[in-house]
Chains A and B, each alone.
Chain A
Amino acid sequence: MSPVLETRGLDKSFGSLAVARNIGIALPRGVRYALIGPNGAGKTTLINLMTGMLHPDGGQIMLDGEDITALGPEERVRRGLVRTFQINSLFPHLNPLEAVTLTICERERIARTWWRPTSDYRAAIDEAYGILDSLMLGPVCTRETRELPYGQQRLLEIALALATRPKVLLLDEPAAGVPREESSELFTAITSLSQDITVLFIEHDMELVFRLASRIIVMVGGGILLEGTPEEISADPRVREVYLGGAHG
């Protein structure tokens, strides 16, 4: 089966610092990938390259067999390549219902209409509420985002991404900063994502990685060291040396 997202020979340097070296990965549909590696390995840079927030110096990005390297971030999202942020990037003074409805209105291209109230678009609101409810945000959907506990804001990050109907979802440390006792809702949310969606997530928490990922990509120094199943990765001596060994003893 052809991959839904593929990169070929991606390169990116900031001055003399190579942050991406010849990155080639191919993600088949519906697979859960974890992207791991020590700090500064270029994981977030790779996500920025794939989503168009950075332009590569060389190489190609293919989504569903189409070259999207030249497209802007908005256009890539419209085609189904969507990300969340490591540091919450939400709409503080909107409530979750408004934020997700906004995303759906933009997706459906009804965001240009200014003569009809948003409340007339009942299907969009129903869909927004459905997404929020599936992420256990239903009861708080009318509270302002900035008032929500941190864990719920992390869930809203995912809700916004889901509202764009992604084919590929790139989660940048979805559980970053969430206390362990609050993270179970987040795990549930990620495991129960539709199997049509391909997920690539960056995560430092190895327990989470081994629980959620069916395949793991290890990055070191801007390049890909290894790709394989969790068993292969944890057994590999090189990985132990650069990552697991150092960080988790």
Chain B
Amino acid sequence: MTPTDPATAAPAPTAPHPHMAAQVRWRTVEYVFWLATLLPFVVAPDYLALASQIAITALFALSLDLILGYAGIVSLGHAAFFGFGAYAAGLVSKWGWGEPLSGLLIAGLAAGLLGYLMSFVIARFRHLALIMITLGFGLLLLEAANSASGLTGGADGLQGVKMWPVLGLFKFDLYGFTAYWYALIVLFVFFLMARRLINSPFGLSLRGIRENPVRMRAIGAESGPHIRKIYTIAAFMAGVAGAVLTQTTETVSLGVLDFQRSADILVILILGGAGRLYGGLIGAIIYMIARDWFSGVNPQYWYFPIGVLLIAVVLFLPNGMLGGIAQLIDTVRGRRWFGWLTSPPPWLRSGSKP
């Protein structure tokens, strides 16, 4: 099958409406993915605590994907919102309100408000300046939490977090059974929201901002309001992810605000593939399982193989694992089979997005 043959070249993709509708439709592999998230209950009941950590990290990565992968806003301080949400959820519970769902909402709103305020600064900068600003902001918040030990418990962590049963029925148990399905449902709800968002006109504008902010101005679009909006939404989501961590572990440590966490989540997103809805999810699964496994093999140098993995992915799959898979599917379908052999694709030569 060659792309030049009009009989075999698929006629459907050029029709505008089916093409746009196809982007929204659920694919089989998506159903498979979400069904597979239920597997830990059956296959690995001893690892439910890890599974809930993965779900929380996936939600955090998804929130970063919205700003970095879709709108092209770089952040090295995204843990600020994760940590803010984590502390907010912890304090609400410590002060006597242990109801999980409303706690989640309060933490999300708190982080969202912080994100909204921050977004006015974010919308004015790009690239390197953004890295510095978000990095500085993250460090600032970490030190603030450290010094306000009366409120946060400082380096000892926040004590006295007690969660009530979810919906008054399901207690958070020692085995992480409730924790996992709770985290999974929260992840799924926000995934549905993110999925809807990226397929909307707003999502399209975000991709436009990522691709070419100068052109956005020249077609009469103001990027600022879009950036402020997505940044607020992403901060809300990150805050919720932090809150789920607090609620399922009933403790908050300074680690939730750590630079390491901001860096890890970036690594996760790049591993999985930024700008692809499932990139953060796949990245979180691979990274967390790899970390668990490598630290079991060698507790001291477990970051070494992670580093190798990251370099390998960036060198050979600059669009992440999902990008690599998409490339492979294209190749197998014959779209670029011969082109591939005769001239290597640009990402093999330069490794950079145009």
Contacts and interface: CB of A to CB of B under 8 A. Distances in A.
Interface of A: 51, 72-75, 77-78, 82-83, 85, 89-94, 97-99, 101-103, 105-107, 110-119, 121-122, 124-126, 128-129, 138-142, 146, 160-161, 163-164
A84 to B, nearest CB: 8
Interface of B, secondary structure class, is helix
A175 B20 CA distance: 31
Contacts of A140: 14
Given A101-B204, A118-B200, A111 B221 contact: yes
Contacts of B225: 112
A91 B20 contact: no
Most chain-B CB neighbours within 10 Å: which of A51, A83, A106, A146? A106
B220 A122 contact: no
A142 B201 contact: no
A105 B218 contact: no
Contact of A89 (B196, B218, B220): B218
Contacts of B292: none
Nearest to B195: A117
Given A83-B218, A111-B204, A94 B20 contact: no
Contacts of A75: 220
A117 B199 contact: yes
Contacts of A112: 201-202, 225-226, 229
A141 B14 contact: yes
Nearest to B218: A83
A194 B353 CA distance: 37
Contacts of B229: 112, 114
A112 B221 CA distance: 11
Contact of B207 (A82, A94, A121): A94
B325 interface: no
Interface string B206-242: 0110011011111111100110010000000000000
Given A93-B207, A126-B16, A138-B14, A118 B201 contact: yes
Contact of B196 (A92, A97, A115, A164): A115
A114 B201 CA distance: 6
- Which 10 A/B pairs are nearest by Cβ-Cβ distance? A77-B220, A114-B202, A91-B211, A119-B20, A105-B201, A106-B221, A129-B16, A119-B21, A114-B200, A111-B205
Given A114-B202, A119-B23, A160 B215 contact: yes
A76 B201 CA distance: 22
Nearest to B230: A114
B203 A91 contact: no
B221 to A, nearest CB: 4
A138 B203 CA distance: 23
B196 to A, nearest CB: 6
B13 interface: yes
Contacts of B199: 117-119
A111 B211 contact: no
7 contacts: A77-B219, A82-B219, A103-B219, A103-B221, A117-B200, A119-B20, A160-B218
A73 B202 CA distance: 21
Contact of A74 (B19, B20, B222, B353): B222
B220 A141 contact: no
Given A77-B220, A118-B20, 18 more contacts: A72-B217, A74-B221, A91-B215, A92-B354, A99-B208, A103-B221, A106-B216, A111-B226, A112-B226, A113-B201, A114-B197, A115-B197, A116-B201, A119-B199, A126-B16, A142-B19, A160-B218, A160-B219
A164 B203 CA distance: 19
Given A119-B23, A141-B16, A91 B220 contact: no
Contacts of A164: 219-220
Contact of B17 (A78, A83, A94, A122): A122
B204 A105 contact: yes
B24 interface: yes
Contacts of B20: 97, 101, 117-119, 125
A77 B16 contact: no
Nearest to A92: B354
A140 to B, nearest CB: 8
B106 to A, nearest CB: 23
Interface in B1-58: 13-14, 16-17, 19-21, 23-24
Most chain-B CB neighbours within 10 Å: which of A90, A107, A129? A129
A26 B83 CA distance: 59
B217 A74 contact: yes
Nearest to A133: B16
Contacts of A72: 217
Contact of B211 (A51, A92, A121, A128): A92
Given A89-B212, A125-B20, A164-B220, A106 B205 contact: yes
B69 to A, nearest CB: 11
A82 B217 CA distance: 10
Contacts of A102: 201, 204-205, 207-208, 219, 221
Interface string B114-129: 0000000000000000
Contacts of B221: 74, 102-103, 106, 111
Contacts of A111: 201-202, 204-205, 221, 226
